[in-house]
Amino acid sequence: MLGLYEVFYAGYLFLRLITTAILVYCVLSWFRPTFRAFEWLRRFIAPFVSPFQKLSMKAMRYFRAPVDFTCLFAIIGYQIVERLWWRLYLLLARLL
């Protein structure tokens, strides 16, 4: 049976995987990749990045910049979720 720490650590690893995948995608996108792994990576991160596209579009219009901030906002968002994740763990650990 998994303990509370193991469950939260697995969630932490998943969040780190998403963040790392988004970062790798951003770096690879600078080099005009045409290989299949890049396409697979794009499809993998698409559901995790799509909630941040509206915010990115608003920022692009506000700053009148032709730069897509979607991945940056996604990384920042998942970093915040990661910190809240561990605070939730500490709260539950105290209660139990």
Q: What is the pLDDT of residues 68-93, one digit of tens each?
A: 899 999 999 999 999 999 999 999 99
Q: Which residue is it, tokens 């219009």?
A: 61
Cα 18 from Cα 48, distance rounded (Å): 8
**pLDDT exceeds 90 at position 2:** no
E strands in the chain: none
Mean pLDDT confidence for 46-64: 94
What is the token pair recorded at 35?
């290989």
The pTM of this model reads: 0.88
CA dihedral 66, 59, 82, 49 (to 10 degrees): -50
Exposed / middle / buried, residue 74 (Cβ in 10 Å: 0-12, 13-18, 19+): buried
pLDDT in tens, 35-52: 888 999 999 999 999 999
